[in-house]
C-alpha cells in the first residue's frame, strides 16, 4: 500500500473513507487522484506538541524569550490570548500587556 499525504498539512496519517481520504491531523477530506489543491491551501500551524492552532486560541509560552528592544523578557508560563495566525517565520501575531503587538514562533508555545 502506498503512503498518501494530505495536500494541506502534508501529514502521512491518512485513512480511506468511501472514495476519499481523510487526514487525521487537520480533518481534510481529499481525493488523491484529483489535481493539486494548492490554491485552496489552508494555513496549518502547530504548537510545540503538534496540536493544530487556530485564530483566537489561547497559548502559553514554554521558554523564556528575549525581545529585541524591550527591557523585559517573555517568561515561561506567560499566557497569550486571542492569537492570529499568519504565513511567515514568526507565524503568531498577538498583543501582550506591557509589550504591545508582537510576533511569536509557534514552536515556543503550547495550546491551553
Q: CATH no. for residue 1?
A: 2.20.25.10
Please give the grid coordinates belonging to residue 61.
Answer: 509560552
Please tell me whether residues 49 and 95 are part of one structural domain.
yes
pTM to 2 decimal places: 0.62
User: Cα(35)–Cα(25) distance, rounded to whole angstroms?
Assistant: 21
Please tell me whether residues 26 and 66 are part of one structural domain.
no
Domain carrying residue 51: 45-111
In order along its 112 residues, the chain shows pLDDT tens digits of 568 888 878 888 899 888 889 988 888 888 877 765 444 567 889 999 999 999 999 999 999 999 888 888 999 999 999 999 998 889 999 998 888 899 999 999 999 9
Q: Are 65 and 108 in contact (CB under 8 A)?
A: yes
Please tell me whether residues 10 and 64 are part of one structural domain.
no
Please tell me whether residues 52 and 78 are part of one structural domain.
yes
DSSP element (H, E) containing 46: strand 45-46
Amino acid at each position: 500500500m502506498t503512503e498518501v499525504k494530505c495536500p494541506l498539512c502534508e501529514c502521512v496519517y491518512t485513512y480511506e473513507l468511501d472514495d476519499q481520504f481523510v487526514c487525521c491531523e487537520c480533518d481534510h477530506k481529499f481525493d488523491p487522484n484529483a489535481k493539486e489543491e494548492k490554491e485552496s491551501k489552508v494555513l496549518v500551524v502547530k504548537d510545540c506538541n503538534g496540536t493544530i492552532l487556530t485564530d483566537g486560541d489561547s497559548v502559553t509560552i514554554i521558554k523564556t524569550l528575549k525581545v529585541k528592544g524591550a527591557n523585559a523578557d517573555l517568561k515561561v508560563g506567560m499566557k497569550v490570548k486571542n492569537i492570529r495566525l499568519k504565513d511567515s517565520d514568526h507565524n503568531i501575531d498577538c498583543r501582550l500587556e506591557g509589550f504591545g503587538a508582537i510576533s511569536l514562533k509557534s514552536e515556543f508555545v503550547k495550546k491551553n
